[in-house]
Amino acid sequence: MIPIHLQLDWKPNAQFAGILWAHHQGWYQNIGIDLHIHPWEPYVDPVSALERDGFWIVSTEDNLLIRARERGLSAQAIAAMMQYSGLGWIALKSSNISSIADLKGKRIGIHGDGETGLKVSLAQFGLSADDVDIVEIGYDYPQLLRSGDFDAVQCLVMVEPLELAHEGFELNVMPAYEWGYEVYSQVLATSKQAIASAPKILTHFLAITFEGWRHAFAHPQDAIRVVVDEYLRESSHQVQTELLLAMQPLFEGKVGQSQLGWMTPERWQKSIDYLKTYGVIQTAFAPEEVMTNDLMAAACARC
């Protein structure tokens, strides 16, 4: 049995339903993988887990992996769970903010991983960061919205809007992918050393992971029962089911369920160019330095 550590970039909720379903059913164990799942920790870059001892895989945003590559981390994305980022912004309906264009002159709360997406989206309307007041925020969304200190705040469009709606908030939601920011999300990445030394194990991991996702989308109630009852008891079946259904279009994107996980160098190049254009990284590089489809190709051949 080979121990593998999986660092999530959020709580073990419906965002990881396919993995959690497969884990609970013993599918990873059946192929010789002892999978240890580690929930997100506040203000910790999940990519940093790849610098720990042991065999680690992380779920992260493509821009965080690209930044880590520039810092010298030897790692590659081996698949993308989400074809489109869930990055977006929410505002109270009473604010009358419903478009990126409405953000001009407004105060926007963001997290560090969302600044580039905001700048790209603003540029669709001829705006720049100088046209808004950007402030980094925490994760207490109810308090952030109630305080009135921010006109809009960054969110995951398939998570917080659903959760906040159950608390009585009436919101306008602005997904970044609808405003020109089309990037991969919940990217699965590991060290180049792991890819070179254990390609077969990683191939099996990917095959099981995306089989788990296909089952979760085909049988959402079964998958969510496992998520809530076994991994996230503080949530509810209703909220997590709504989340899973809201995520499905982001997972499938334009490729559909048969191509879950696949990436293209062209889209990675676009992400690299975004970060270079907005000064997040200083040097552009080839997408193959941060991604590979080789393991997905092997996983699909196995299926």
For residues 260 and 303, what is the distance between their CA atoms, to the nearest angstrom?
A: 13
pLDDT at 36 over 80: yes
- pLDDT for res 303: 56
Please give the distance of CA 71 from its chain centroid, rounded to a whole number.
Answer: 21
The percentage of the chain sitting over the pLDDT mark of 90, rounded to a whole number, equals: 86
pLDDT at 110 over 90: yes
Average pLDDT over residues 241-263: 93
- Whole-prediction pTM value? 0.89
Average pLDDT over residues 118-145: 94
pLDDT at 79 over 70: yes
Torsion angles phi and psi, residue 33, rounded to 5: -110, 120
pLDDT in tens, 197-250: 999 999 999 999 999 999 999 999 999 999 999 999 999 999 999 999 999 999
- pLDDT for res 44: 79
Written as one string, the DSSP assignment of 213-268 is HHHHHHSHHHHHHHIIIII-TTS-HHHHHHHHHHHHHHHHTTT-GGGTB---HHHH
Q: Average pLDDT, whole number, for the chain?
A: 94
pLDDT at 302 over 80: no
pLDDT in tens, 13-34: 999 999 999 999 999 999 999 9
